[in-house]
Amino acid sequence: MRAITIPEPGGPDALVWTEVPDPEPGPGEVVVDVAASAVNRADLLQRQGRYPPPPGAPAYPGLECSGVIGAVGPGVTGWRVGQEVCALLAGGGYAERVAVPAGQLLPVPAGVDLVDAAALPEVACTVWSNVARLARLGTGETLLVHGGGSGIGTFAVQFGVALGATVVVTARAAKHDRLRGLGAAHAIDYREQDFVEEIQRVTEGRGADVILDIIGASYLARNVAALADGGRLVVIGMQGGRKAELDLGALLAKRASVAATALRSRPLDDKADIVRGVREQVWPLVESGAVRPVVDRRLPLTEVARAHRLVESGDHLGKVLLTVG
């Protein structure tokens, strides 16, 4: 088969479409014939040599895919050859075929096209596990989503609204109308406005009950300032650095909490648990149309360098898909 390899870390042109060995399904795994994968921000870091795949993961980039099951390994029950699926991957989605632990498979939701289904696994698993399972966002609460226009953000906006929350986003101004169209009640231009002042203004001084943050260190103090009493800050990205001072006094006074999580490096049984939760609690929202895949565009996998340049520029909204064949 062919896959995107990274012979030497570097810029987008470091990604090379080449012949590689076919994957075999190990015990508990299936092999998926890939219809599409999607670009995640982490793939840009992997390309630069700054985010190596975890032990045992395929060497090629690609944290999610959709496609058709081509082979089923020993001990797999409930999945059969020919079934259309999408999957959460630890790597290897940028390829014609990929071996996946069966616990990381999801059926293609009714009403979603096979290619568009590749836009869902990584964002659904990340957002559900952090916003619902960990932070327990409730009806009537306020969710602040940093990077509302990202793949993660466009999903989080819709999911927060579906849970009955008021959703506020930060994003560059050019994306605000489309984010309001997805259900955001307020959009903050983080380049021109202070998000702490804005969140306090729109919540009449209460602050955000839950913040989903992709910026990390440079936002830590301001995120704590933006939290409501009992608020939960969940950091899932470090685009603004990894080390910062935390004022425990400010946290303590608000009875607030800070958590940070990563999906890719979790143990297999935890990933399977998250995928089960997504199937039970998120898939019905997708099938009802309350939450939809937000696809900026589809590009052939052979044009992956163009796709990485686009995501690096931040000019996209939602997911950039990579189609195979």
Ligand X SMILES: NC(=O)c1ccc[n+]([C@@H]2O[C@H](COP(=O)([O-])OP(=O)(O)OC[C@H]3O[C@@H](n4cnc5c(N)ncnc54)[C@H](OP(=O)(O)O)[C@@H]3O)[C@@H](O)[C@H]2O)c1
Report the interface residues with ligand X, using CB under 6 A: 40-42, 122, 126, 146-147, 149-152, 170-172, 175, 190, 214-215, 236-237, 239, 261-263, 311, 314
- C-beta closer to ligand X: residue 139 or 313: 313
| Number of neighbouring beta carbons within 10 Å of residue 32 | 31
C-alpha closest to that of 307 among 13, 8, 9, 50: 13
- C-beta closer to ligand X: residue 24 or 270: 270
Query: What type of residue sits at position 211?
Result: I
Task: Give residue 110's Cα distance to chain centre.
Answer: 21
C-alpha closest to that of 237 among 271, 219, 213: 213
- C-beta closer to ligand X: residue 97 or 178: 178
- Name 68's bridge partners: 33, 84
- C-beta closer to ligand X: residue 37 or 170: 170
Measured from the CB of residue 63, what is the shortest distance to ligand X in angstroms?
A: 8
- C-beta closer to ligand X: residue 76 or 214: 214
Instruction: Kindly provide the b/e burial profile for residues 43-75, where b requires at least 16 CB atoms within 10 angstroms of the residue's own CB.
Output: bbebbeeeeebeeeebebbbbbbbbebbbbbee
E-strand stretches of 89-163: 97-101, 105-107, 142-146
- C-beta closer to ligand X: residue 69 or 154: 154
- Asked if 28 contacts 50 with a C-beta cutoff of 8 angstroms, the reply is no
Token pair 């579906």: residue: 162
Distance CA 233, CA 227 (A): 7
